[in-house]
Amino acid sequence: MPPSDPNEDAQHVMSSDKAAVSRALNLVEDRRLESQARVAALLAALKDAPKAADGHRVGLTGPPGVGKSTLTSVLARSVRRRGLTVGVVAVDPSSIRSGGSLLGDRARMSFDPTDAGLFVRSLATAGEVGGLAYAVNSAVRVLAAAYDMVVIETTGVGQSEVDVVDVADTVVLVIQPGSGDVLQFLKAGIMEIPDILVVNKADQEELARRAVADLQGAIQTAQAVGAAGGQDADWQTPIVATSATQGTGIDALIAALEQHRKHIQSSLAARRRQGEVRWVLDLFSRKHGEHGVSTLGGPDRLEALAKRELDGGQTPLALCEQLSRGYVAALGKTP
């Protein structure tokens, strides 16, 4: 069967056709060389989707066991009740033997399968570090073209989960009371990342109050040493107490998300562009390593080149292929 027309596929995705969205996500997960041109063509066709420009991309990160999946489920249902559509990417750890999804975050989420305005997809990390999977950048762009809000739930592998910054407009760091995570996050510098802090399982009231107080102190300490406000020095990071199992604090979380979305409206395009630049550099360095980066002039020159090309209308995957051809030419080989 001949390959489908990417422009036609894009139109079906933008109409929120669940079958089309699922096919598109299957495609972006396909690592085979012969599929990469189709992926690039599809994402190029989705680049100017109305929902992609106006929507909100929310990243939920935090250590294992804090209730991210349950919180994602409750948040998505609450957003749906407000009339917005939601796409969810749940990134799961992978089996070291099969490479397949190990935990299956969807098993811990409760959704109405008949709801046309809600789509949930699990992606396996397949050994990737940083809390995200290989296809997440592409998957987010597919879902952003189809739904008003995209929620990216990371694996929960620990303190190195910083890649979510590159795909999310708003990053939510979730912790639980009594876990001791606050000190660890402060030492790891992860307090630079979140736009919103959530203390989940706040039905443990005394422990939750203590966790909120610890977070407030951590923020003040981080600000004093210049380690906070890495994303936006003018934004005062709110702390929201929630209980996903009891459904409390969700309205406050949604209000904080809306407030942050309004706050970054004027800088959103630049924020997303920087994420695309880092995506291009990551893809290129994965393919060609440090030698490829140095051959094209080093990371600073490559970053400036990527930004200029993306600002000129180039798409990340097509740009990565362009850079690859430049690298091969620099080596004196035929592309």
- Give the pLDDT of the chain (335 residues) as one tens digit per residue: 456 788 999 999 999 999 999 999 999 988 888 888 899 999 999 999 999 999 999 999 888 888 999 999 999 999 999 999 999 999 865 433 444 444 444 455 667 788 999 999 988 755 444 434 568 899 999 999 999 999 999 876 443 456 788 899 999 999 888 766 666 665 555 667 889 999 999 988 888 898 888 888 877 776 666 555 445 678 889 999 999 999 999 999 999 999 999 999 999 999 999 999 999 998 899 889 999 999 999 999 999 999 999 999 999 999 999 999 999 999 886 44
Angstrom distances, CA of residue 78 to CA of 74, 75, 85, 118, 189: 6, 5, 11, 11, 32
Q: Which domain holds residue 317?
A: 265-335
**327 part of a folded domain:** yes
Region of residue 180 (phi > 0: left; psi between -120 and 50: alpha; otherwise: beta)? left
Same-domain pairing of 105 and 210: yes
Same-domain pairing of 168 and 288: no
| Nearest Cα to Cα of residue 109 among 99, 118, 100, 96 | 118
258-288: burial string, b at 16+ Cβ within 10 Å, e else? eebbebbeeebeebbebbbbbbbbbbbeeeb
Final residue belonging to a domain, choices 220, 240, 264? 264
| Alpha helix positions (H), 82-147 | 136-146
Sign of CA dihedral 321, 327, 330, 331: negative
For 80-136, strand residue ranges (E) read: 86-92, 118-124
Query: Are 302 and 330 spatial neighbours (Cβ–Cβ below 8 Å)?
Result: no
Q: Give me 319's structure tokens.
A: 């740009």
Same-domain pairing of 127 and 140: yes
Final residue belonging to a domain, choices 264, 285, 320? 264
**24 part of a folded domain:** no
Give the CA dihedral 6, 12, 17, 23, nearest 10 degrees.
Answer: -10
**Cα–Cα distance for residue pair 42/141, rounded to 1 Å:** 10
Same-domain pairing of 259 and 269: no
Q: Give me 138's structure tokens.
A: 């592409």
Distance linking the first and last C-alpha atoms of the chain: 29
Same-domain pairing of 295 and 166: no
Beta bridge partners of 153: 60, 90
Q: Give me 58's structure tokens.
A: 């929310």
Final residue belonging to a domain, choices 264, 293, 317? 264
How many domains does the chain contain in total? 2
**16 part of a folded domain:** no
Please report where in the chains the tokens 């969807």 appear, as a residue: 106
Same-domain pairing of 144 and 133: yes
Same-domain pairing of 73 and 139: yes
Its pTM stands at 0.88
Same-domain pairing of 294 and 154: no
